[in-house]
Amino acid sequence: PEYRSFTRLLPDEGVFLDIGASTGIFGLRAARHFRNKGVVIAVEPVPEVMAVLAKNAELNGLTNVRPRCFCIGETTGSQMLWMNRDQPNSYSMTIREKQATGLSVMVVSVDDLVRWEGVERLDYIKIDGTFIRSLVRNPVDRKMVRLIGEIGHEAGMKSIAEYVQSDEAFQL
């Protein structure tokens, strides 16, 4: 439901940061909504997934999408991204099981991202549904969503979250 209606929250122009962009379902919709009056910075740490996102933007003629292959974090550097339960949608900077597969990734702070992208501000930040799905029962994901929300609020951004499917998750 949020996929069909989230562009109603967006003005006609702006800068949309899509964290955990995956293949671009939300970012491409935002880019189409903005047309040439806005830009989408689509952040996806997995190279194979990022390649699909870039191809999707190209096939749809969306020149206002900037695919970026890294993670967003507190400080710029490198870190391990863990694939827990051997499922692509279970990536986390926190190892949650003994047999998790790790991927070394670049991590970029929001301040560095804004400077590197040459944008004056970020207007919207999309929070990846991976955190939202287990928000109610997982204190680590709950803390991550709160931190992303606080960072966004301090920077003057509005937050949009994927997969909010209960009143309890919405209130958190």
Q: Give the whole-angstrom CA distance, residue 104 versus residue 107.
A: 10
Strand order in the sheet with 101-109: 71-73, 101-109, 77-83, 91-92
| Residue of higher predicted confidence among 64 and 6 | 64
Q: Provide the percentage of residues in the chain whose pLDDT is more than 70.
A: 66
Token digits for 111?
A: 């301040």
**164 or 101: which carries more pLDDT confidence?**
101
More confident residue, 162 or 122: 122
pLDDT (average), residues 161-167: 53
Q: What confidence tier does 172 reach under pLDDT thresholds 50, 70, 90?
A: very low
The CA distance from 145 to 97, in Å, is: 21
pLDDT digits (tens, 9 = 90+) for 60-114: 999 999 999 998 887 899 988 877 665 555 666 677 677 777 888 898 988 899 8
Contact 33, 6 (CB under 8 A): no
Residue 163: how many other CB atoms lie within 10 Å: 17
Please give the average per-residue pLDDT across 27-42, as a whole number: 93
